[in-house]
A and B are shown apart, each in its own frame.
Chain A
Amino acid sequence: MIHPILSIILAPFLFGVINKTKAFFAGRTGQPVFQPYFDLLKLLRKGAVYSRTTTWIFRASPLIGLISVIIAVYIISGVLSFDGDIILFVYLLGLMRFFTIIAALDTGSSFEGMGASRESWFGLLAEPVLFLALFTLIKITGCLSLSEMLGYITPQIWNQYGYALVLITAAILIVFLVENSRIPIDDPNTHLELTMIHEVMVLDHSGIDFAFILYSTALKFWVLGALLVGIVVPVHTGKLWIDTVSFLGGMFGLAVVVGVIESVMARLRLLHVPQVILAAGIFSLVALIFVVR
C-alpha cells in the first residue's frame, strides 16, 4: 500500500482526471487537471459566512468530516492497523456522513433537509452491503484488519475465489458510486436543489469550510477507491516502486472508469436507486454464501 501523505496530496487530482475524461467524451478541452487544487486554494483564502440560525454543529462538521476521513486514509494505508479496524473504517465514514447530515439540518433550510433525508436513506442501505462484502473478504483471507486483508489478496486467491471476488468488486463499485454520490446515483455537477443529494447538503457552507468539505469528498473518493483497487489490482511484489506505480495506475484507471460511467449513463430515478443497492447486496450475499459453504 501507499504512504498516507502521498494519498492525502494526490486525492483531488482524481477529480481532475474524471473531469478530463468527461471533457474528452463531450469533445471539449475541459478544465486543467489541477483545477480541483486551484479551487481548494481559492476557497482557503476566503472567509466563511455563517447564518445566525446555525450553531456550533454547523462550524464543527467540516472539520470533523476531514479528520475522520484522514484517519480512514491512515487505516487503509496500513499505518494505523489493528484487528477489526474495518468496523472503525466503515463507521468513520459513517461519522462523516452523520455530521454532514446534522449540519445540513442545522441550517433550517428545507432543501438541505430533503438532501439530508436522501443521503441518510441511501447511506442506510449501502452500509450493510459494504459490510457483507467486507465479511466475505474476511472469510476469504482470514485477516481482520483492512490493510492486511488487501495485502493478502494475490493472483492465487483470484484464481481460487475469482467468482466471489468479481461479485464483491461489483458490489463495492456500486457502494463506491453511492457513497461518493457519483452519476448513476447522484450528479455531482447538478445545480437543481430538488434532485441533488450530497451537494444540496453543503449549499450553505462557504470559504474555508467548503474547502474542507470538498477536500474530504476527494479523500473519501480516494479511500473507497483504494479499497476497490486493492481488490482488483493485487500486486504485492515487495518492491516499493512497482507496488506504488501499479496502485496509482489502478487509482487513475478507476477515475477514468468513473468518468466513462458518468459520460455514457444518465442518472437513475431516485426510486430506482434502492433497487440498484439491493442488487449490490444480493451480489455480496451470494458471494458470502458461496464462500462460507
Chain B
Amino acid sequence: MIDSLLMLIVLTNLFLLGSSSINTCIRLVAVQGVLLGILVLISHFSIHTIVISTGSIILKGWVFPWLLYRTTRGVNIHQNKPVIGYTLSLIIGVFLLIVSFWIGGRILLPNSSLLVTVVIFTSLTGLFLMTTRRKAINQVLGYLVLENGIFCFGTSLTQHQPLLVGMGVLLDVFVAVFVMGITMFRISEEFDHINTQYLSSLRDGQ
C-alpha cells in the first residue's frame, strides 16, 4: 500500500516535469498533496497525524488549486518554452530518481529507505521546477512540490513532531501561496506577462 502510494508520488513528479499545460500541473500538484496527506495518515495513525493530514489535504487538494486557478484566470499565460525542454527535463527527472535511490540507500533511518528516496526525489523535482521554468506560476508550483517533500519528510519520519510545528508550516505555506498569487496578479496587471527572466532587467532610475 505504502509502496504503491510512493510510486504514485514519483509518477506525479515525473509528469509534472513533462507536462506543458499549467492547469494539468496545478491538478498534479493537488493530487500529490492529497497523496502525501494519505501517506502521512497511513504511516502513523494518531490524533496528531489525523489533524495534520486532514489540514494538508484540504489546503493542498482544494484551497491551493482554487487560489492558483483564480490567479491563472486573471493572468495572461500563453505557454513559452522553459529553460530546459519538457522531454529533456523528464529524462533529467529519471536521473534525479536514480540519484535519489543512491542517496536514499545510504541514509540510514529507522523507517523505510524508499520513503527517504521519494522525499529526496520530490524535493529535487521541486528545486528543478523552480530553477528551469520561466513563468512565475510554475515556480510557485515548484515551491509547493519542494514543500511537499519537506512536509512528508517531517511528518512521517520524525514521529513526535509537535502538532504546532506542523500546523505552523502549513500556515506558512498557505500565506506564501496567497501572497505569491496576489503578487503574480499585480505583476501581470503591470507588465501583461509573468515571465520572470525580464524581472532582472528592472532597475531603479539610471
Measuring CB to CB, which residues of chain A are less than 8 angstroms from any residue of chain B? 162-164, 167, 275, 278-279, 282-283, 285-286, 289-290, 293
Closest 6 CB pairs of A and B: A163-B4, A163-B7, A163-B3, A282-B14, A293-B101, A285-B94
Measuring CB to CB, which residues of chain B are less than 8 angstroms from any residue of chain A? 3-4, 7, 10-11, 14-15, 18, 87, 90, 94, 97-98, 101, 105, 114, 117
* Cα-based distance from A275 to B24 in the complex (angstroms): 15
* Cα-based distance from A279 to B4 in the complex (angstroms): 18
B87:A290 contact, CB within 8 angstroms: no
A286:B97 contact, CB within 8 angstroms: yes
A162:B94 contact, CB within 8 angstroms: no
* Cα-based distance from A167 to B11 in the complex (angstroms): 10
Distance to closest chain B CB from A198 (angstroms): 25
* Cα-based distance from A279 to B90 in the complex (angstroms): 9
Question: With contacts A289-B101, A293-B101, A293-B105 known, is A282 near B3, CB below 8 A?
Answer: no
The 11 sampled A-B contact pairs (Cβ below 8 Å) are A164-B7, A275-B87, A278-B18, A278-B90, A279-B15, A282-B11, A285-B94, A286-B7, A286-B11, A289-B97, A293-B117
Among B4, B105, B114, max chain A CB count under 10 A is at B4
* Cα-based distance from A269 to B101 in the complex (angstroms): 36
Q: Which residues of B contact A289 (CB under 8 A)?
A: 97-98, 101
B4:A162 contact, CB within 8 angstroms: yes
A290:B3 contact, CB within 8 angstroms: yes
Given contacts A162-B4, A282-B11, 13 further A-B contacts (CB under 8 A): A163-B4, A164-B7, A167-B7, A275-B18, A282-B18, A282-B90, A282-B94, A286-B7, A286-B10, A286-B14, A289-B101, A290-B3, A293-B101
**A-B pairs with beta carbons under 8 A, tally:** 36
Q: Which residues of A contact B15 (CB under 8 A)?
A: 279
Distance to closest chain A CB from B156 (angstroms): 18
Among B7, B98, B101, B117, max chain A CB count under 10 A is at B7
Q: Which residues of A contact B4 (CB under 8 A)?
A: 162-163
Q: Which residues of B contact A282 (CB under 8 A)?
A: 11, 14, 18, 90, 94
Distance to closest chain B CB from A165 (angstroms): 11
Q: Which residues of A contact B7 (CB under 8 A)?
A: 163-164, 167, 286, 290
For A160, the closest partner residue in chain B by CB is B3
B97:A279 contact, CB within 8 angstroms: no
Distance to closest chain A CB from B28 (angstroms): 13
Q: Which residues of B contact A164 (CB under 8 A)?
A: 7
Distance to closest chain A CB from B174 (angstroms): 31
Q: Which residues of A contact B3 (CB under 8 A)?
A: 163, 290
For A166, the closest partner residue in chain B by CB is B4
Q: Which residues of B contact A286 (CB under 8 A)?
A: 7, 10-11, 14, 94, 97
Q: Which residues of A contact B90 (CB under 8 A)?
A: 278, 282
Distance to closest chain B CB from A41 (angstroms): 47
B18:A279 contact, CB within 8 angstroms: yes
Q: Which residues of B contact A283 (CB under 8 A)?
A: 11
Distance to closest chain A CB from B102 (angstroms): 10
B87:A278 contact, CB within 8 angstroms: yes
